[in-house]
Amino acid sequence: MSDEDDLDEFEPDQEELEKEDDEKETEEWEDHRKEGEEFAEEWMPSPLTEDMMKEGLSLLCKTGNGLAHAYVKLEVKDRELTDISLLRSYIHLRYVDISENHLTDLSPLNCLTHLLWLKADGNLLRSARLNQLPYLQIASFAYNQIVDTEGISHPRLGSLDLKGNRIHMVTSLDPQKLSNLHTLELRGNQLESTLGINLPKLKNLFLAQNMLKRVEGLENLSNLTTLHLRDNQIETLNGFSKEMKSLQYLNLRGNMVSDLAELAKLRDLPKLRALVLLDNPCADESEYRQEALVQMSQLERLDKDFYEEEERAEADEIRQRLKEEQEQEHEAEQEHDLELDQSLI
């Protein structure tokens, strides 16, 4: 798996954009949370063994100066592991999958300084904290019990998955240390704010199924192309700016936007092509589709339907009429001011 493969599903012009909206996936992380609540019991110690290593190792590669060889890929999923201390001896590992176990401690991974790819989903982790791993590019900690974003500072990290955890606030994601992070997945947490996500190279941001009431602190994400905010509690469309000049896809389905006038706040997004507002009160208004296109002439798709040429022509006419009315109002105001000035002479 490469970071290019990982990004394929996030391309803004593909139907895969709605993948995160599937009810099945929503149920999946709810199931994980229920399981996490039942994990109060103590698990019997179950350490990683040499026999498990032999069974899970693969991908023989050259190491060091090229004269030696070692297996660099390990998969030990769903083994009820509680301890991976043995990994401290396998310093050449580059790809590690330790998902679906009962792990609470990832510190043995600090010895794997050649690690490129890590998947630790479905464990009992309270933190994703690790020492800085210089080559780590893809890391997934989905469906754990992680409560913060502290201790994540891998300089080549491109994709970080923290969905289905218990994070309330994003903190300590240092843009200097995470200068290559392009995809951040935070769906299904307990986020109450979008502050703390000031990552200059970020292209894909997934914040669905949280507790967000507004968008804030994202104004300077000039490389962001995809933003998912489905199933939050957002009422207004403040927080978007012309600095978000790359944003092409915005999903606000299942929020609380009721006033069509809020759509005017998205006019400063020059590359916005697809907007999803289904299951918001404003989507029930009769002029909903038309108003969106009047406010955003560059829009190609609203919800799941592309705009037809007839709709585009009608929106152009309305836009032109509004422009003329505004000009007439401005001229009338100027004449009124002039008359007022003359009466005071």
The answer to whether 305 and 280 have CB atoms below 8 angstroms apart is no
Going by their DSSP bridges, the two strands 57-63 and 68-75 should be labelled as: antiparallel
What is the pLDDT, as a whole number, of residue 50?
96
Can you give the length of the chain in residues?
A: 345
Residue 209 DSSP one-character state: S
8 Å CB contact between 159 and 138: yes
Whole-prediction pTM: 0.86
Q: Which residues of the chain have pLDDT under 50?
A: 1-15, 17, 20, 22-24, 26, 33, 37, 39-40
Report pLDDT for 5.
Answer: 36
pLDDT at residue 35 in the model: 53
**Which pLDDT belongs to residue 334?**
63
DSSP per residue, 125-171: -S-------TT--EEE--SS-----TT---TT--EEE-TTS---S--
Q: CATH number of the domain at 1-7+28-211, please?
A: 3.80.10.10
pLDDT of residue 294: 93
pLDDT confidence of residue 16 = 52
pLDDT at 8: 36
pLDDT of residue 169: 96
Alpha carbon 250 to its chain centroid, in Å, reads: 11
Q: Give the position of tokens 């709810």.
A: 30
Residue 196 region by backbone torsions, left for phi larger than 0, else alpha for psi between -120 and 50, else beta:
left
Backbone torsions φ then ψ of 184, nearest 5 degrees: -125, 120
